[in-house]
């Protein structure tokens, strides 16, 4: 489970140190940073809902960390706080614990294992609180209320997930009785980014919603309820591809999934839509074994992953980013195809092609390290992998259709 951490300190080097400890243990984590010295206090309305834990430095604003701690722990539903005191066992540490810090660590001499233990406790505590809050809200809410949002025509069955930008519910359509998934975003997109971005979002999803492709999740409705954007989409009882990848997949099965993913990407690319977030968690499975893509770059377009206005953070996991995406260069369809190559390699080997201690280091490896080699028994798939993971877009397979054709030939040869 990925950890979402907010690091609050005036010193950039200390924020980076704490971020290093976090990503060393949770490699896919992307800790957010906040610098009080230049940005002042966190806004009064900031609830920290996007985070599992806050790492607070005692030295903020000339050693006013305890004031910050008292302020933040008084905010309803605020995530657990790990406090870094000048002396973990001294008077400051005792005060921090009495105010409500989940854990107090000595600022300059803490052990990595102690920090990780505190973070795991925070993660478990946060998940339990969110689950209890969700259950209580659902028990007390009318059937058509989803958290604080009322969506007519749907009956809430249960909450499926809570993320930094949205909540996801399993719902029943009142008219048809069909089960659907409602994804409700916490912030209003035209307020966050401006009407131009919102209009572009609606145009793109109008194109996707009208696609009838077996490997693209059906979108039944998109709208705004109580000033919250929501999507009503197909429900997938089989979970996601990530859950199937706890062990290496057989080559034929891996190729089958990649073929379905490529076919879906081809349909998206034909209408001018880049997915931009190709990864196992965004491929969901039906009971019949077929798969379909979800999340066509939503959070990335609307910048809904953070509830601190003005924080510029790259979200999503860099393990699946193409070299050009990781470096902020212009993207075309071949960026999605690169990400598809990463998924293929991981399904075949059980490992990601590039791993490092920090997200930036992973991005560097994508751009500068050689394409990884498959084991000898999978060498016949190396040309396909090379055509997907080439560093330069011009050296990759040119289209999703070319990938489908390539896989069909491989499966045909294997069956002969």
Reported as a single tens digit per residue, the pLDDT across 228-256 is 888 888 888 888 898 889 889 999 999 99
Whether residues 379 and 272 fall in one domain: yes
**Confidence grade of residue 306 (pLDDT, cut at 50, 70, 90):** very low
End-of-domain residue from the set 134, 155, 178: 134
The most confident of 50-54, 293-297, 301-305, by mean pLDDT: 50-54
Distances (CA, A) of 266 to 203, 215, 270, 401: 19, 10, 6, 6
Whether residues 270 and 223 fall in one domain: no
Whether residues 57 and 193 fall in one domain: no
Contacts for 56 with CB less than 8 Å, ≥ 6 apart: 8, 9, 65, 68, 69, 72, 81, 82, 83, 84, 101
Token pair 């107090």: residue: 104
The most confident of 137-151, 335-349, 353-367, by mean pLDDT: 335-349
Mean pLDDT throughout 59-66? 92
Number of domains forming the structure of the chain: 3
**Is residue 18 over pLDDT 80?**
yes
Whether residues 228 and 247 fall in one domain: no
Exposed, middle or buried by CB within 10 Å (0-12, 13-18, 19+), for 216?
buried
- The pLDDT assigned to 61 comes to 92
Structural domain span for residue 31: 5-134
Mean pLDDT throughout 296-312? 36
Mean pLDDT throughout 75-86? 90
**Confidence grade of residue 88 (pLDDT, cut at 50, 70, 90):** low
Whether residues 151 and 53 fall in one domain: no
364, 367, 373, 374: CA torsion to nearest 10: 80
**Is residue 312 over pLDDT 50?**
no
Q: Identify the helix (H) or strand (E) that includes residue 33.
A: strand 32-34
The DSSP output letter for 272 is T
Cα torsion 267, 271, 272, 277: sign = negative
Whether residues 259 and 171 fall in one domain: no
Mean pLDDT throughout 125-143? 60
Give the whole-angstrom CA distance, residue 199 versus residue 100: 44
Among candidate residues 277, 295, 307, 336, the one labeled active-site is 277
Whether residues 174 and 113 fall in one domain: no
- The pLDDT assigned to 241 comes to 92
Whether residues 23 and 107 fall in one domain: yes
- The pLDDT assigned to 246 comes to 83
CATH assignment at residue 64: 3.40.50.2300
End-of-domain residue from the set 214, 234, 254: 234
**Is residue 43 over pLDDT 50?**
yes
Structure tokens at 278: 């190709």
**Is residue 168 over pLDDT 70?**
yes
Return the minimum-mean-pLDDT range out of 90-94, 138-142, 303-307: 303-307
**Confidence grade of residue 374 (pLDDT, cut at 50, 70, 90):** very high
Whether residues 126 and 203 fall in one domain: no
**Is residue 192 over pLDDT 50?**
no
**Is residue 185 over pLDDT 60?**
yes
- The pLDDT assigned to 144 comes to 83
Reported as a single tens digit per residue, the pLDDT across 318-331 is 899 999 988 888 88
Whether residues 178 and 298 fall in one domain: no
Task: Give the distance from CA 103 to its chain's centroid.
Answer: 27
Token pair 């994508």: residue: 366
Task: Give the distance from CA 191 to its chain's centroid.
Answer: 22
Whether residues 339 and 391 fall in one domain: yes
**Is residue 375 over pLDDT 90?**
yes
CATH assignment at residue 199: 3.30.200.20
**Is residue 80 over pLDDT 70?**
yes
CATH assignment at residue 247: 1.10.510.10
Mean pLDDT rounded to a whole number for the chain? 83
- The pLDDT assigned to 128 comes to 65
**Is residue 299 over pLDDT 50?**
no
- The pLDDT assigned to 223 comes to 81
Structure tokens at 354: 């590039």
Give the whole-angstrom CA distance, residue 231 versus residue 246: 30
Give the whole-angstrom CA distance, residue 49 versus residue 137: 16
Give yes or no: 277 in active site.
yes
Which phi and psi (to 5°) does residue 123 adopt?
-60, -45
End-of-domain residue from the set 234, 268, 288: 234
Whether residues 352 and 214 fall in one domain: no
Mean pLDDT throughout 150-177? 84
**Confidence grade of residue 296 (pLDDT, cut at 50, 70, 90):** low
Three-state DSSP state, 100: coil
**Is residue 113 over pLDDT 50?**
yes
Q: Which of 236, 278, 272 is nearest to 403 (CA)?
A: 278
Contacts for 44 with CB less than 8 Å, ≥ 6 apart: none
- The pLDDT assigned to 98 comes to 92
């Amino acid at each position: 489970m990925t950890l979402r951490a907010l690091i609050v300190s005036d010193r950039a080097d200390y924020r980076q140190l704490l971020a290093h400890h976090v990503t060393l243990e949770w490699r896919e984590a992307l800790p957010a940073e906040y610098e009080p010295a230049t940005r002042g206090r966190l806004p009064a309305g900031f609830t920290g809902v996007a985070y599992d834990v806050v790492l607070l430095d005692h030295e903020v604003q000339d050693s006013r960390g305890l004031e910050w701690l008292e302020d933040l722990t008084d905010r309803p539903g605020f995530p657990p706080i790990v406090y870094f005191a000048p002396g973990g066992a001294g008077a400051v540490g005792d005060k921090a614990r009495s105010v409500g810090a989940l854990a107090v660590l000595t600022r300059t001499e803490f052990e990595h294992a102690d920090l990780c233990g505190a973070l795991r406790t925070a993660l478990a505590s946060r998940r339990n609180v969110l689950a209890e809050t969700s259950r209580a809200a659902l028990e007390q809410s009318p059937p058509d209320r989803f958290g604080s949002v009322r969506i007519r025509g749907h009956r809430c069955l249960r909450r499926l997930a809570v993320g930094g930008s949205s909540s996801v519910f399993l719902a029943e359509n009142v008219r048809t009785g069909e089960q659907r998934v409602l994804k409700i975003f916490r912030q209003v997109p035209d307020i966050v980014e401006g009407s131009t971005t919102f209009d572009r979002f609606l145009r793109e999803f109008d194109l996707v919603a009208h696609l009838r492709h077996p490997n693209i999740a059906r979108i039944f409705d998109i709208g705004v309820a109580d000033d919250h954007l929501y999507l009503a989409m197909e429900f997938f009882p089989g979970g996601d591809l990530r859950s199937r990848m706890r062990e290496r997949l057989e080559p034929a099965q891996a190729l089958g999934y990649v073929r379905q993913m490529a076919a879906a990407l081809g349909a998206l690319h034909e209408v001018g839509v880049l997915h931009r977030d190709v990864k196992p968690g965004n491929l969901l499975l039906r009971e019949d074994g077929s798969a379909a893509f979800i999340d066509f770059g939503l959070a990335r377009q609307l910048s809904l992953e953070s509830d601190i206005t003005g924080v510029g953070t790259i979200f999503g996991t860099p393990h699946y980013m193409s070299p050009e995406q990781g470096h902020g260069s212009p993207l075309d369809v071949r960026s999605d195809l690169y990400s598809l190559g990463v998924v293929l390699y991981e399904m075949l080997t059980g490992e990601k092609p590039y791993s490092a201690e920090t997200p930036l280091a992973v991005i560097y490896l994508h751009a500068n390290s050689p394409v990884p080699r498959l084991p000898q028994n999978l060498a016949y798939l190396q040309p396909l992998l090379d055509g997907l993971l080439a560093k330069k877009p011009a050296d990759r397979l040119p289209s999703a259709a070319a990938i489908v054709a390539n896989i069909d030939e491989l499966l045909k040869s294997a069956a002969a």
